[in-house]
Amino acid sequence: MQDAKRREQFEALAIPLLDRLYSMALHLVREPARADDMVQETYLRAWQNFDRFTLGTHFKAWIFQILTYLFLNERRSAHRRETSVDFSEHDILEAPPQSLSIPPTMHLKNLDALYPDLVDDVLKRALDRVPPEQRTVFLLVTLGELSYQECAEIMSLPIGTVMSRLFRARKQLQDELSDYAKERGVMRGDAPEKK
């Protein structure tokens, strides 16, 4: 009975964040399959450690922190593999057996339907050009809807660093997208259009 209640509490907190976590993962890794894997691993780790989570505290910040740590660890591991593996010695890389594939998560795969303003190719390319440290902070604050303080805790950074990275990311996006925004009628001249 205790396990059923625990699972019910976890699902009530975790399931509503599924699409937002997937969107964040997709923006970080830029590959749907890798984003699926990252979200599944996030949920697995969150479930395994749910007994350590204090109910009534900020679950969203906690689960986004898990996702962010997974991403940062994957990046560090990939960097180490790049410097230590010589692929010229291998003729063919075999695909893993089908039995190892993980079923897709329950998220909506059609990101266009979820975030129509964030999937335009021009916007994707502009966001991809933002340095990774700035992009991660930007995504946590915008897609994750986390506060600066929550973002600072997740990234283990001073809040001032979070604010400066966010400022630089927004400034770069503003500079790159100002003509695009004017063409779409979002901005006129140098000032945003008033609604």
User: pLDDT grade, residue 151 (50/70/90)?
Assistant: confident
Instruction: Answer yes or no: is 119 within a domain.
Output: yes
Instruction: Answer yes or no: is 56 within a domain.
Output: yes
What is the arithmetic mean of pLDDT over 157-172? 91
Residue 9: how many CA atoms within 13 Å on its side-chain side? 15
What is the arithmetic mean of pLDDT over 155-181? 88
Instruction: Answer yes or no: is 107 within a domain.
Output: no
What is the arithmetic mean of pLDDT over 135-163? 87
Instruction: Answer yes or no: is 96 within a domain.
Output: no
Instruction: Answer yes or no: is 89 within a domain.
Output: no
Average pLDDT, the chain: 75
Number of structural domains in the chain = 2
Q: What is the pLDDT of residue 80?
A: 56
Q: What is the pLDDT of residue 78?
A: 62
Q: What is the pLDDT of residue 14?
A: 92
Report the distance separating Cα 153 and Cα 109, nearest Å.
30
Model pLDDT for residues 15-48, shown as the tens digit of each residue: 999 988 998 888 888 889 999 999 999 999 999 9
What is the arithmetic mean of pLDDT over 52-79? 83
Instruction: Answer yes or no: is 88 within a domain.
Output: no
Instruction: Answer yes or no: is 106 within a domain.
Output: no
Residue 178: how many CA atoms within 13 Å on its side-chain side? 10
Whether 123 and 72 map to the same domain: the answer is no
Nearest by Cα to 139 from 189, 56, 66, 68: 68
Q: What is the pLDDT of residue 118?
A: 45
**For residue 57, what is the domain's CATH number?**
1.10.1740.10
Instruction: Answer yes or no: is 7 within a domain.
Output: yes
Residue 11, pLDDT > 50, answer yes
Structural domain that includes position 41: 1-82
User: pLDDT grade, residue 167 (50/70/90)?
Assistant: very high
Report if pTM > 0.85: no
Of 134 and 193, more confident: 134
For helices 159-183 and 132-142, the axis angle rounded to 10 degrees is: 80
Model pLDDT for residues 80-90, shown as the tens digit of each residue: 554 444 444 44
Nearest by Cα to 112 from 123, 127, 126: 123
- In 91-166, at which residue ranges do the beta strands (DSSP E only) sit? none
User: pLDDT grade, residue 187 (50/70/90)?
Assistant: low
